[in-house]
Amino acid sequence: MNNNKKKDDDKNKQPKWLMIMLIALAATFALSFLSRSLLADRTGSLTYTEFLEILKTKEVKEVTFNEYYNKVSATVKDANGREVVYTTAIVDKEAALEIINERKIPVSGTVISSGSWVSILMYAMFIGFLLYSMRSMRKGGGLLGNFGQSTAKMYVQKETGVSFADVAGQDEAKESLLEIVEFLHDPGKYAEIGAKLPKGALLVGPPGTGKTLLAKAVAGEAKVPFFSLAGSDFVEMFVGMGASRVRSLFKDAQQMAPCIIFIDEIDAIGKSRDSRYGGNDEREQTLNALLAEMDGFDSSKGVFILAATNRPEVLDPALCRPGRLDRRIIVDKPDLKGRVAVLKVHAKHVNIDESVDFNEIALATSGAVGSDLANMVNEAAILAVKNGRNYVTQSDLLESVEVVIAGKEKKDRVMNDSEKRMVAYHEVGHALATALQKHTEPVQKITIVPRTMGSLGYVMQTPEEEKFLMTKDELDAELVTFLAGRASEEIFFDSVSTGAANDIEKATKLARSMVTRFGMSEEFGLMGLETIDSEYLAARSYMNCADETSAKVDMVVKKMLEDAYAKAKELLSANKDVMHKIAAFLVKKETITGKEFMQLMEEAKKERAEAEAALRERFPEMMGEAAVQADEGVGKPAENDNT
């Protein structure tokens, strides 16, 4: 039986060897013809009489006799100074030697001609190609090796090592994918009622939210083979190679079914086939092959496609229709509860002090994604080791939040006294405007220590609870807070600096959004004048209105900023004594907590009240007039909910 099998294998190999020999024979003729052609281009063929005439009349650099081929060559310089080789068959060697001796031309013996070198090089290249093809065919590849073969990495359940327990903060996404896992586990239960396995799902969300981790968790839970590759793996220089890889991938997957195919960054090959601006033939052919394969394979076999992207708006509609990528699963930034869960998952393998409050860290990291939170936990562990501890404390985690958001402290950057005072008044202006307004978040920390990401100081605010909506009053208060730093500089230094550049940029962006997107201006009402593109990446915006309307928007935004700036100056001017006290303390300490800030603010207000009482006793008539002015609202600060 084994002998029969061996004979069958030999019969199967014969066509391959026959094909290789035929290709080798054809290539030999082609190379021989090519080498002769190259030699003909490099030399000039002529009769022996003409050759002797050249020896007599031309400037000959060297003559070479090749006895093996019965050829003689003369290297001659032409009018342009280039060397030309003339070759002919040897008829009368003595006649040639007589001319050579008479003109004293250098002569050499039997050598291999330049054309022979070309032939040897080409034969060597051909032998190398032949050996490579034989090796590829022995390994099961084609004559061109692995070109067009699938490069997907295949994992089995033990190698993924990821389950849904390792993914936190994405409960809705896990719930949607859990149905897929159950279908792969027990397809018969769904087949009884007539349900079919969805052909695919598209994971959509910002970078770092855990799309790839979710895909691995699905494979780990389903305990099926997991083919993982990126969209760029299909893109090749040669047209048709990407499509060949797609076909090879689906062929392998059907043999391993039930299994999961995960294509990360599918927008690399799945962009819309819009011919208005030209296209890439290779990418479009690859996409066409992918669409055809997704339609062709039988969903009952258990081949499921997972794809991930953060640019869903650029995908081809045919790729996202039902029957291909049936489901769109949003993997968004985690909420407060989700961030707490993510922090706990990443803290499993870190020595954490019992007093650590993850809820406080989660409140301070609004908008952070899973990768950001993982980085913060790691930075906290590094900081703990740096401070000589083998466990992470709350202060380490809070400091790591600042490191990820603002960068490390630049201890080598020393500001002079005037700059230090201006930065202190600038930051206290932000903090005081926050404390003196309603609808604001409490101050957590104020610092004037420069950071590596460019800030000379900042105010850190921590919300008491997470919000998903912001009212117009809250946005107006935020505008005032943004501009309070610049207002403080103008009030206390009669000048302004470049330190408010980032504040002005944020305030302008917020005011423009209020006008163009949120419908919060009287001039334009509920008109939507701006559209957001690439929501999960840069979130670029562009105006969809006339130029005249855009110019009016600029004027409305300018008016909103002017009103907010005037209110900021009014608040700070009415509390100069509080500003002086807190700024002096900040210059001395460089960093103060929100609790210290509120204590200093209360002390300053108490000192003001005592001073007013003393003046009232000493100058009752004067203070009576001041009281009347206060009752009329002159110089009266805004009420403060936070205090």
- CA dihedral over 158, 164, 167, 172, signed as positive or negative: positive
Supply φ then ψ for residue 530, to 5 degrees.
-140, 145
Task: Determine which helix (DSSP H) or strand (DSSP E) holds 641, and give its type and residue range.
Answer: none
CB 507 within 8 A of CB 483: yes
Question: What is the rounded distance in angstroms from the CA atom of residue 418 to the CA atom of residue 424?
Answer: 10
Strand, helix or coil for residue 444: strand
Whether the link from the prior residue into 207 is cis, omega within 30° of 0, is no
Which stretches does DSSP call E strand in 310-457? 327-330, 443-447
Complete edge-to-edge strand list for the sheet that includes strand 60-66:
43-45, 83-89, 71-77, 60-66, 107-108
Question: What is the rounded distance in angstroms from the CA atom of residue 455 to the CA atom of residue 474?
Answer: 25
Question: What is the rounded distance in angstroms from the CA atom of residue 67 to the CA atom of residue 89?
Answer: 10
Amino acid at position 475, single letter: L
Strand, helix or coil for residue 467: coil
Give the CA diameter of the chain.
139
Structure tokens at 475: 């946005």
Residue 112: predicted pLDDT: 44
Residue 512: predicted pLDDT: 93
pTM of the entire predicted model: 0.67
67 is catalytic: no
Residue 638: predicted pLDDT: 41
CB 309 within 8 A of CB 315: yes
Question: What is the rounded distance in angstroms from the CA atom of residue 273 to the CA atom of residue 288?
Answer: 10
Residue 481: predicted pLDDT: 95
Question: What is the rounded distance in angstroms from the CA atom of residue 602 to the CA atom of residue 233?
Answer: 63
* CATH architecture, domain defined by 2-138: 2-Layer Sandwich (3.30)
Question: What is the rounded distance in angstroms from the CA atom of residue 451 to the CA atom of residue 408?
Answer: 5
Chain centroid, CA 491 distance in Å: 43
Question: What is the rounded distance in angstroms from the CA atom of residue 580 to the CA atom of residue 572?
Answer: 11
Out of 427, 441, 478, 530, the active site residue is 427
Q: What topology does CATH give the domain 153-330? A: Rossmann fold (3.40.50)
CB 190 within 8 A of CB 262: no
Amino acid at position 261, single letter: I
| CATH 1.10.8.60 describes domain 336-405 | yes
Residue 490: predicted pLDDT: 94
Complete edge-to-edge strand list for the sheet that includes strand 591-593:
458-461, 443-447, 591-593
Chain centroid, CA 185 distance in Å: 35
Supply φ then ψ for residue 454, to 5 degrees.
110, -15
- Beta-carbon contacts of residue 141 (< 8 Å; ≥ 6 apart): 149
Strand, helix or coil for residue 94: helix
- Beta-carbon contacts of residue 633 (< 8 Å; ≥ 6 apart): none
User: What percent of the residues of the chain are helix, what percent strand, and what percent coil, each to the nearest 5?
Assistant: 55, 15, 30
Q: Which DSSP string corresponds to 296-345?
A: HS-GGG-EEEEEEES-GGGB-HHHHSTTSS-EEEE-----HHHHHHHHHH
How do residues 588-616 score in pLDDT, each as one tens digit? 998 999 899 999 999 888 888 888 888 77
Q: Which DSSP string corresponds to 101-145?
A: HHHT--EE-S---HHHHHHHHHHHHHHHHHHHHHHHHHTT-BTTB
Residue 76: predicted pLDDT: 83
Q: Where are the domains of the chain?
A: 2-138, 153-330, 336-405, 417-630
* Ranges in the chain, pLDDT < 70: 1-45, 67-69, 109-126, 128-161, 236-240, 274-281, 296-301, 411-413, 538, 620-643
Please tell me the class of the 417-630 domain: mainly alpha
Task: Please give the DSSP secondary-structure letter assigned to residue 271.
Answer: B
Task: Determine which helix (DSSP H) or strand (DSSP E) holds 600, and give its type and residue range.
Answer: helix 594-618
The burial of 547, by beta-carbon neighbours within 10 Å (0-12 exposed, 13-18 middle, 19 or more buried), is given as exposed
Name residue, tokens 């220590």: 449
